[in-house]
Every structure is written in structure tokens, then in C-alpha cells.
Chain A
Amino acid sequence: MRAAALLECVDVSVNYGGVCAVDRASLAVEPGQLVGLIGPNGAGKTSLVDAISGFVPISTGRVLFDGVDLARSKPHQRARAGLVRTFQSLELFDDLSVRDNLLAASERPPWWRLAGEVAWPRLGRDQLAEIDGALESVGIAELAGRSPGEISQGQRKLVAVARALATHPKLLLLDEPASGLDTDESAELGRRLRTLLDRGTSMLLVDHDMGLVLEVCDHLVVLDFGRVIATGPPSVVRGDRSVIEAYLGESLADTLDRVDGDAT
């Protein structure tokens, strides 16, 4: 029997004023899985992530998370339910230190503590330990006190991931976490993602870096012109020459052939 999916999209469509960005796409992420969502520029990957996280309305279909239909949940409610995303563009809270960025996302004090803090602001030791843990898990514990303006592009990407982790997500949606990273940083990010997976965080990864995606994902979903055109484990999708030639461009298909050839 198939394990119950953590996230399930069924026939999801997204329309922007007549333009169909996502066309009846279906995909599922099972617990403990790292699923890659790939496709050429403009294929509708970010639109689908926006639809899953509640930032754009869907025109057909359903999004189920943990067995619950998300139709009526707002983005912050989805985040609190454990469905947390990062953004393609860097969207850190610029006026907050790295630690405060994580705190803003993780803390959920009761209202009387919110009010009490105005008289006496304080942070619990366990709260800080938790933040440091999230930073540690992506390897940037030393940046806690810095401001987002002072750190490198790659480090900012990692802060965004750490901020998402600080909310204890059940499923992490990563929208192009490797864009703007150099090759080494990207490979390092891949290793971090595998570690997170081992600790029980499921993920849906959108990225252009084919090296990263092929390396780390358990399962791939290929999107083009808003439609899912292939799914399967990386070895199968990668081997599907017609799919790759048609949708990733001919020369890259050749390239991948060569990579396969060298590997065997």
C-alpha cells in the first residue's frame, strides 16, 4: 500500500488574467521524501509553489496537506500548519539581525506574554538554543548576531533556509535556493539538504541547477508550459531522452548523454 502523501496536488491550475501558468498539474510528496520540481524558465514552477503556499488562488483542483484541504487557509496559517516556503528572490527581514529573523518566524507566545514583553522584553534560553540549532543545521551559527545587509549572497540564502527550519516545518518548499550560489556553495547546500532529510524534514525543491537536483532528489517532477510532462526517479527522468530533448533543450540533452556515458 502506498504511504499517505504529506502534500498532494490534484489537477491544480493557476490562471493570471487569462494566461494559464499552471495547467492541471498533479504531484505528491511523501513523508521523508525530497522531490525536485524542474522545467525550463517560465514553465510555471514558481506559480505552482505560490499556489501550494497560498500566495495565488488556484482556479481548479485541490491542494491537500497532511490530509487537509488547504482551500480556506491563508499563507500564514499554512506556515503554522508546517508547510513553509522560501522565496526565489531573497526576502529576509532587513532590519532584523539574523537571529531576530529566525525568532520572528519561530516564536508563538500567548497574547499575555506579547503584552508583557512591552514592559519587560526577554528571551527564554531554550528559545535561543532552538534558534542556534536551526542556524547550526545549515552551518551558519556564527552569523547569528549579524545583519542581513552584511553577509554574502550565499549566506543570505542559507539564512532563508534556516528561518524556514526554525518554524519546525513538516514540509519545506525551497524555491531556487541555489540560484546565485557558486558551484561549491551549491554542492554544500545539497549536502545540507540531505542531512535535513535524514532528520525527518520532507522537501519540495525547485531549482535550475541540474547538478544539484539530479544529485539530491529522490523523485523528480518535470513541468513545461504549466503541465507535468514527466515524473519519476532521477535516473528514469534523466534517461528519458525524448523528454529531456524536448523540454530542456537539445544541447543539454546531449550533455546529459555524455554525463551518463562517462558515468558508466
Chain B
Amino acid sequence: MTDYAFYLLLGSGAGAVIAMLGMGLVLTYRGSGVVNFAYGAIATWVAYVFYGLRADGDYVLPFPGLPERIDGGDEMAFVPAIAISLATAAALGLLVYAFVFRPLRLAPALAKVVASVGVLVAVLAMVQLRFESTILSPAKILPSEPVTIARDLTVPRDGFWLAGIAITLAIALWAVYRFTRFGLATRAAAEDERGAITLGLSPDALAALNWTAAAVVAGAVGILASPLTQLSPLLFTALYLVPALGAALIGRFTSFGVTCAAGLAIGMVQSTFVQLQVDVSWWPEIGAREGLPFLAIVGALVLLGSRLPTRGSIEIARLPRAPIARARAAELGLGYAATVAAFFILPGGWRIALLTSLIAAVLALSLVVLTGFLGQISLAQMAFAGIAGFALARFADDMRIPFPIAPLLAALVATAFGLLVGLPALRVRGINLAIVTLAGGVAIQEFVFKNPDYTGSIAGGGVRIPKPELFGIDLGLTVKGALFRPAFGVMVTTVLLVLVVAVMNLRRATLGRRMLAVRANERAAAAAGIDVARTKLVAFALSAFVAGVGGTLIGYRFGTISDASYGLFASLTVLAFAYIGGIASVGGALIAGAVTSGGIFFFATQEIVGRGSSANLELFIGGVALVAMAVLNPEGIAGALRQSRASRFLEGRPR
């Protein structure tokens, strides 16, 4: 038993990090009604700023175009470094609120989720752009000498320090919210914004203050927690954000005390899994750690029925419109022919960029069905794609199932997972569902993709996917010396065409009408005799199928795949670019493909402007564009084009 006590105590550090991030999420939510998926990224940025200052005294600026860094001479002392870093956190929180979430106050939940994903993508891309070495092993800040608790039980003491800080924070936040006028006002505004305004309180100012405070908490966590493990860009998002969301949900996004306790508990229980693996033969070697927060989230949402408390605010903005596509067969045929021709004419680099765009368009189409038509958000699309990718390896390589059948079967496996993740959608919706899908995606990634039994050893570069072949024609991208073969491009273009037609038809079919009815109003849909639950499941299944097809295409393109091919970050960028293109229309998905990172738009820009762009810069631009889209034009590029066409049409005609 001492072993378990040891691991429980050892986990107090991670638990404290989860607890503090969870409380920060609660603070942000109570202050402004936003679930900030970029919260971990704020911690990350501040951590890099702090360790940058400590290492060489340079202060790094996150704005492209301005000087990248301010030279601070030598390495900076601890106190000024921490002061500057926390000030940076405060400024970042305030800026994000003022420029992103304040304008989105009245926007639907979808726009807020999407905007926070945009912030997340932009901040993480900026970390990669600004810091050459992104994997750091910072020195300990808190005292970490071992402390002996009982005979045979000696643990480092920094975990206790962190836990103490977390508990102190919980008490402090509780007291502020309980006793101060600021706290009362925040609680009041969260319950009824109109009521607060009629008393002369400004919900805006309250939100800004809470955002600032939450960002400072994130910054402190970033600095204090980095020495626990290695600091890497995705650390706080991948490792801690999901359990923190779980803790916040258990605290019903209201209670600091419960959130703190839940966070500590999750971290400590996760830590004992190391010993469980040794003691329990069937305990999974990989992924159980990430499975726990997923179960906590699903349990809190589905079983306990705990939801984000609804905020008494006035939501007026609508979701992006989902128009019926008017494309004629001739237009589609022409587009198809032109794309196929491009694969024969264009040089190699262009072909790869075009492929990237076409595959991204397939993934974006999967979100058109789910988000555009049904109005639900998934942050796990890449996980569905990955399931299909690894299933394809199994079917095609191990079982030797031939080409069109193996990828279809693989996509059906993804469909099954889509249904599984969609089941919680029967009980939860909106932001809550986004949280479930994020946790589910992370769990699939850790549990399935990182498991060598399913996905091959990382040393071997992952699993092999045999080349597609149909009627004796080799459709592979590379065949013995022949690189960038057009045949592969033709195959991908054909798949995309079929899916485009199917999704366009779906919009005009009974199922599509039902999805849009559910999206508009679940109550009214049910009152009209529509089975809301079944409609949702069908949409999740179709969406996962399309994403699965995209996953198999990714597999065929690279020939070998590993967990890195379908990461969490990729899921978020898929959503980002799909939204930029226009989440609710087929045309939007095609535009999303074109403007995706590494796609035809950025490649063309590079070719014309000259070298200088990088994947990270493109992602940063994507993140910022996503925020801008969410704030200024929720209908995406496709919507903007539609509007300008419509206005030209109207202006051209006297009324």
C-alpha cells in the first residue's frame, strides 16, 4: 500500500496544476460566460516568456511585424522576471477579452468556442515561431527536497507546495466571490445580465477584470508547473486542459472549492496508474491517464446531469446560414476536370499543395455536416480520421483487403466511433459537447494512437499503408522513382467529388432538413415530430464517416502513419480552417481546403512572393483569421462571397 500512497502524494503536484487551471476556467466562465479552450495556451506563453527572461534576459513579443524580442542584457533575476511575466499574462488576458470575446458577447456558443480555438492555434503557433528550442527542462522553483512522511514513504516536497498554493487560491477566490462587492457583482451578472445593468453594474468591466485575474492565474501555473515535467508547447493544452475542464465541470463551473478538490483528486488518481500497471495485469499500459478525465467529464455531464450553468445573457446572433448549393452538374464537372488536369500539368510542389487542400476539404466537409447542418461542434474530427487511418492499415496491410473495400470499411470503423462520441450528444449540446469531444479526441489519441499494438512502433515510423490499386492500375502517390504521380491526385479528386455531391444532396434531402430543424430549435423540431436523438446520431455517424474517408486519404498519401499524423492540434486546425472557409456550406469546405496550412493558397503565395513563409506562420495567420472570422463574419469566406454577389445583384436592379 505504501506504493500507492507514494504515487498519490507524488500526484499532488499535477493535481494542483489541474486544480488551478480548473479554477481559472471557472473564473473566466463566471466572469464572462466563455469556456476558454485557449486557457492552457496562455499558461504556455507566459511560461516561455518567463524561462526566456531567466535564460538570457530577452523579452519575447508575440506580434508579427514588430521586433521579435527586446534584448534585456543578461539573464534576469527571479523577482523582476516573475513580475514581468505575470504582467504579460494580465495584458494577454485583457487583450484577448477586449478584442475577441467582448465583441462576441452576444454571439452563439459556437462562435465563442471557435474563437477560443483560434486564440489557441495562434498562441501555440507563435510559441513555435518565437522560441527556437521549444522543449525545455526548467530548473525547480519551489523547494523540492524529499520529505519523509512515514517509514518507506519519502516524496519530493514541491507537489505539496503546489497543492498548498492551489488550496490557498481556492480559499481566496471563494472569499472574494462571497464577500467583496466585485465578487457579488460578478455572481449577479452571471445570473442575470440585464438585472445587473439596471443596478448600474457593467458586465463588461466585470468580465474584463475576471479575464485578467484568470490569465494571471494561468501565468503563475505556467511558471510554477513547468519544472514538474518538460515544458513543451502543447503541455498545458494536451496534458492539463482536459482534466482541468473535467474538474471545472464537476464543480459545475461555479464552485472553486469543488473544482479544486476534483482537480487534486484527478491528478493524484492518475498518478497511481503507474503502480496499477505493475500490479494489475489487464491495466492498459497506455492511455488510462487520459481516459480518466474523459470518464470524469462524461460522468459529470451525462450521469450527474451537471451542465454549465446557463447565463442570463441576451443571445441574439444567429448561426451561419446553410444555403442550398446551386451548383450545376456542368460546373461540378468543369471543376473536377480542371483539378484533374492540374495534377498532370503542375510541377511536384504544387501537386502536393493541391493534395493537402483536397484532403483538408474532405475533413472540412465532415464538419459541414456536423457543425454546419446540425449545429454541434466536434473537436475530435482528426481522431475519427486517425481511427480510419489505422483501421485501413489493419485491413489493407494485415488482412490484404483490396482497395475500395478496405478504406470504406475503415471509414465505417470511424463511423462507429462517431456514434460512440455522439451518444453523449443526446444529453449534452453546445459548449458542453465541445468539451466532451475534446476529451474524447484526446482519449482516443492516447489510448489508441499511442498504443504500439494498434499503430506500430514509433521507431519504425508507424504503420505501413499499402498503395491503392484498382483494376490493376496503381493509384499510389509514389511508385519506384516516380514521385507525385497524377493517378493519386485523380483518385483523391474523385473521392472529393463524390462526397461534395453527397453533402449537397444531403442539404436538399429529408435528413438534411431534419438536421437544420434540430439546429434551429430542438424543442420545435421535436414538436414537429422529428426524432431529435436519432437525427443527431445520424449526423455524427455521417460526419465521422466523411472524416474517416479523409483519414484514409491521409494514410495513402504518406504511406506510413503514426500518432503524430492525427494529433489533437490537427483536429483544432481542421475546425479552424473549416470555419474560415464557411462552416455551413459545401463551397465553404472547398475554400477551407484551399486556404488550409500547406495548401494551395499559401503555396501559391509563397511561389509568388518568394520564400519566407513557414507552417507555423501559416497556422498563426490561420488562428488570427479564425478569430477575425468569428468576430466579424461568422459565415466565413463563402458567406462573404455570397453576400457580395447578392448585394451586387440587388444593386444592379432598381427596387
Contact = CB atoms under 8 A, between A and B. Distances in A.
Interface of A: 53, 55, 74-76, 79-80, 84-87, 91-96, 100-101, 103-105, 107-109, 113-114, 117-121, 163-164, 167
Contacts of B505: 117-121
A226 B530 CA distance: 30
Given A100-B516, A117-B510, 9 more contacts: A74-B526, A86-B527, A94-B520, A95-B322, A96-B520, A107-B510, A113-B510, A119-B505, A164-B528
A100 B512 CA distance: 10
Contact of B516 (A93, A121, A167): A93
B4 to A, nearest CB: 42
Interface hub of B524, B526, B532 (most chain A Cβ within 10 A): B524
Nearest to B509: A117
B510 A53 contact: no
Contacts of A74: 526
Nearest to B373: A95
Contacts of B530: 76, 104-105
A95 B519 contact: yes
Contacts of B509: 114, 117-118, 121
Contacts of A53: 527
B295 interface: no
Interface in B498-533: 502, 505-506, 508-511, 513-514, 516-517, 519-521, 523-532
B581 to A, nearest CB: 18
Which among A85, A91, A101, A104 has the greatest number of chain B C-beta atoms within 10 A?
Answer: A104
B523 A55 contact: yes
A18 B524 CA distance: 27
B347 to A, nearest CB: 37
B505 to A, nearest CB: 5
Interface in B523-553: 523-532
A105 B529 contact: yes
B178 interface: no
B508 A121 contact: yes
A89 to B, nearest CB: 9
B566 to A, nearest CB: 26
Contacts of B510: 103-104, 107, 109, 113-114, 117
Contacts of B311: none
8 contacts: A53-B527, A55-B527, A76-B532, A93-B513, A93-B525, A95-B321, A103-B513, A104-B517
Closest 4 pairs (CB-CB, A-B): A117-B509, A105-B528, A91-B524, A79-B529
Contacts of B528: 76, 79, 84, 104-105, 163-164, 167
Given A87-B523, A119-B502, A121-B509, A95 B531 contact: no
B318 interface: yes
B506 A118 contact: yes
B519 to A, nearest CB: 7
Interface residue tally of chain B, by bracket?
20 to 34
Contacts, number: 101
B531 A76 contact: yes
Nearest to B538: A114
A49 B527 CA distance: 12
Nearest to B503: A118
A80 B524 CA distance: 13
B527 A85 contact: yes
A96 B517 contact: yes
B519 A79 contact: no
B520 A93 contact: yes
A117 B511 contact: yes
Contacts of B532: 76
A120 B502 CA distance: 9
Interface hub of B322, B511, B527 (most chain A Cβ within 10 A) = B527
Contacts of B526: 55, 74-76, 79
A113 B510 CA distance: 9
A84 B517 contact: no
Given A100-B513, A104-B516, A114-B511, A93 B524 contact: yes
Nearest to B534: A76
Contacts of B520: 91-96
A93 B517 contact: yes
B422 to A, nearest CB: 17
A102 B510 CA distance: 11
Nearest to B526: A75
A76 B525 CA distance: 8
Contacts of B523: 55, 75, 87, 91
A31 B514 CA distance: 30
A135 to B, nearest CB: 15
Nearest to B530: A76
Contacts of A108: 529
Contacts of A91: 520-521, 523-524, 527
A75 B526 CA distance: 6
A79 B506 CA distance: 24
Contacts of A87: 523-524, 527
A182 B502 CA distance: 45
A83 to B, nearest CB: 10
Contacts of A79: 526-529
A96 B502 contact: no
A80 B521 contact: no
A179 to B, nearest CB: 16
A217 B190 CA distance: 44
A101 B516 CA distance: 10
A91 B525 CA distance: 9
Contacts of B517: 93, 96, 101, 104-105
Contacts of A85: 527
Contacts of B506: 117-118, 121
A85 B525 CA distance: 11
A148 B509 CA distance: 19
